[in-house]
Structures are given as C-alpha cells and as structure tokens.
DNA sequence: CAGTATCCTCGCAGATACTG
DNA sequence: CAGTATCTGCGAGGATACTG
C-alpha cells in the first residue's frame, strides 16, 4: 500500500494535519510568520537542501497557504507571502510554541520570541471560549463524536469509500 | 546524512514539532482527547496497522505525553491515558481543528465535535492575549528573533554543534 | 485483546551539479 | 539569487503472521 493521505478525510484535524502536519511545513510557517519571504533566507535559517525546500514551499503554495509574488513587477525573483489562510495558522503555531516552551525546556530556559507589536509584552496562553464568548478551561470541554459527525475516523472513511466502490 | 531530528533544536516550536509534528501523532492525540484509551479502539478508528500504532504509541509514551496504565492491577491489559503534558496539547489540536474547519471544508460542511461539557455549546475561536491579559488580534503580534534568543534557527544550531565539535 | 516479529516498498529527505 | 534536475538511501509506514 501507498502512504495514506488524509486530505479527503472528513475530519478537520486530519485535513489540517495533511497540509501542515509535518516538521518542515511547521518550521517554514514559523519563519514566514516571523517575516521571512525569500528562498535563500528560508534555506539558511532552516538548513534544508534546495530540493526539499522547493518541494515544501510548492506544497504550501498549492495549498493556498503561501503566495508567490514577484519582488517587483516584471522580475523573475519571487517572494513567498502568507495568505490569509496561512496567517490564520498563527493560533496553531503559537499553541505549539507555548506547549514547547512549557514542556520541552527546563524551567525558564526557553527563548522568548513572540510578543505584542506595540508594547513588546510577551504573549500569554491562548484562551478557550464558547461561541458566545463564555471563557472555558481545559476541563470544561470535550470532543464528541456526534451522530451528525460520526465521520471523524478512518473507520467511517473506509465505509464511505466502500460505498462509492 | 540521516534524517534530521529537531529534538535538540533551541526552538520551542521545533521541539514540539519533533514530538507531535506528524500525522499519526496528531490523530492519536485527537482520539485520546476524545476519550479513546485502548489499543484496539485506536486501531479501528485510525486504521493504522498494528506495528505503526505500537511504534507511535510508544513514542508518545516515551515523550511523556501518554501513560500506560494496567486496566486493573495485576492484569497485563493496558490503557493509554493522557498525561498533563498530553492534555495541554489541547490548545494546539483545537487550533488546528478550527483552522481545518474554516479552511479545508466548504462553508458549513464541517463536522462539529468540540463543545463545552456543561451546556454543549460549540467552541469559539481561541483568543490571543498578553501575559497581563490584554486581548490581542493576529496583527498585533510579531515573532521576534531577539538577541536573547537568536538560536531559533538551524543556522545557529549548526554553529552550536560546530562549537562543541 | 494487545501486542511482537518479519518482510517489503516507496516516499521523504540529503547531497550536489547545473541553469537563467 | 532562485531555483531545477538527478542520484541515492534510510527508514517510516504498510501488510501479515504469529504469540501470551
């Protein structure tokens, strides 16, 4: 069998994972959010070889997360800009970042590099809330495979495929 | 060269990506957060083969994200429970989930499965804030490679390695 | 049920040379 | 500088058989 693609899974997380659920994509997005635009800058910062970087950038462009823009009109040099879709990954990256700070370093040993643009104040943890704005703690929520959305598993996906075949 | 590990990178995001930055880990955690505990349940829901699942579960256990617990004392059957470290990945998963809902489905076509435990109300978007609690929007923040933390790149990591060698 | 133990394949990544 | 084009190979991931 070939490696399974999650792109057409009925689960939002699976689909997201299919697009950005790998190490290089996450690091590229980290740098893109930090303002990196150019191929060579990504290359030196990431230390990936050219072909890898090319491939990963193209994936992200195909996914509509990055856009290629000529540096100036009529020039073949391009820059990679985050689309709105790409920008809105900031919550996910930030959550991972904060988790990494908390759990993969000794206390206080982690670099601090995400801050408010105006005052430079450090970011606090992401806050959960309901659609109506009521704040929630972690223990207040649950992930429910509902009747309306049973299709979050491979199991149900397999059933779907079988139907069509 | 062998495939680069990000485990010892000085960047929190890189380290987080090293532990949970792959598709299977994300899906396992999704199910774990939904209450799945048993090997066979993971297996049928994910549709991964036994060896893959075993390996991935072991990685997560080694990383301290999951714990193996005997179902009952003196029995060899085990369950996989989320540790506190694992639980606190909920923000990252949720962010990815919400991003997937918004960007990988046609409008309104996505399953709704994360909700408040008490009222069943759907979750709203994660909120950014400073450590002092001041709310922020996406455009209010920036990722800054500071002098105190220049070491978030492969570049600087390579320099570090070179020093030691 | 909860995994080990094997075997196999091909995708991903690494290195490097070359082009506009 | 910004890639494309090739070559190479490790190892993740897949299938299946077998064990306590």
CA A21 to chain CA centroid, nearest Å? 7
pLDDT in tens, A91-141: 999 999 999 989 998 876 666 668 888 898 988 999 999 999 999 988 888
Give the confidence band of B120 by pLDDT, cuts at 50, 70, 90. confident
Q: Is A15 on the interface with B (CB under 8 A)?
A: yes
CA A164 to chain CA centroid, nearest Å? 31
Nearest 10 degrees: CA dihedral of B114, B126, B31, B81? -120
Compute how many other C-beta atoms are within 10 angstroms of the C-beta atom of residue A52. Answer: 13
Mean pLDDT of A25-42: 89
Q: Which of B45, B101, B155 sits opposite A153 (nearest CB)?
A: B45
More confident residue, B51 or B7: B51
pLDDT of B149: 40
Residue of B nearest to A101 (CA): B12
pLDDT in tens, B55-91: 999 999 999 999 999 887 777 789 999 999 999 999 9
Phi, psi for B68 (deg, rounded to 5): -90, 130
**For strand D, is any atom closer than 7 Å to the CB of A3?**
yes
Q: Which two tokens stand for residue A55?
A: 């491939």
Give the helix, strand, coil percentages of chain B, each rounded to 5: 45, 15, 40
What's the predicted TM-score (pTM) here?
A: 0.89
The architecture (CATH level 2) of B12-140 comes to Orthogonal Bundle (1.10)
Q: Give the residue among B163, B164, B150 at the shortest CA–CA distance from B11.
A: B150
Mean pLDDT of B2-30: 87
**For strand D, is any atom closer than 7 Å to the CB of B50?**
yes
**A129 contact residues in B (CB cutoff 8 A):** 123-127
Start-to-end CA distance of chain A, whole Å, equals 18
Q: Which of B101, B113, B142 sits opposite A146 (nearest CB)?
A: B113
Q: State the nucleotide closest to B77 in CA–C1' terms.
A: C2
pLDDT at B50 over 60: yes
pLDDT of A38: 92
Asked whether A114 and A122 are in contact (CB, 8 A), the reply is: yes
């Amino acid at each position: 069998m070939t490696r399974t693609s999650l792109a057409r899974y009925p689960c939002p997380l699976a689909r997201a994972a299919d697009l950005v659920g790998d190490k290089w994509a996450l690091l590229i997005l980290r740098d893109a959010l930090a303002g990196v635009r150019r191929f060579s800058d990504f290359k030196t910062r990431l230390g990936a070889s050219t072909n890898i970087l090319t491939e990963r950038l193209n994936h992200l462009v195909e996914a509509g997360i990055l856009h290629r823009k000529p540096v100036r009109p009529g020039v073949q040099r391009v820059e990679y800009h985050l689309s709105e879709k790409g920008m809105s990954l900031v919550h996910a990256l930030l959550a991972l970042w904060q988790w990494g700070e908390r759990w993969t370093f000794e206390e206080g040993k982690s670099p601090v590099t995400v801050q408010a643009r105006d005052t430079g104040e450090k970011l606090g943890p992401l806050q959960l809330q309901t659609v109506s704005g009521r704040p929630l703690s972690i223990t207040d929520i649950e992930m429910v495979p509902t009747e309306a959305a049973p299709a979050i598993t491979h199991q149900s996906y397999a059933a779907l495929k079988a139907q069509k075949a």
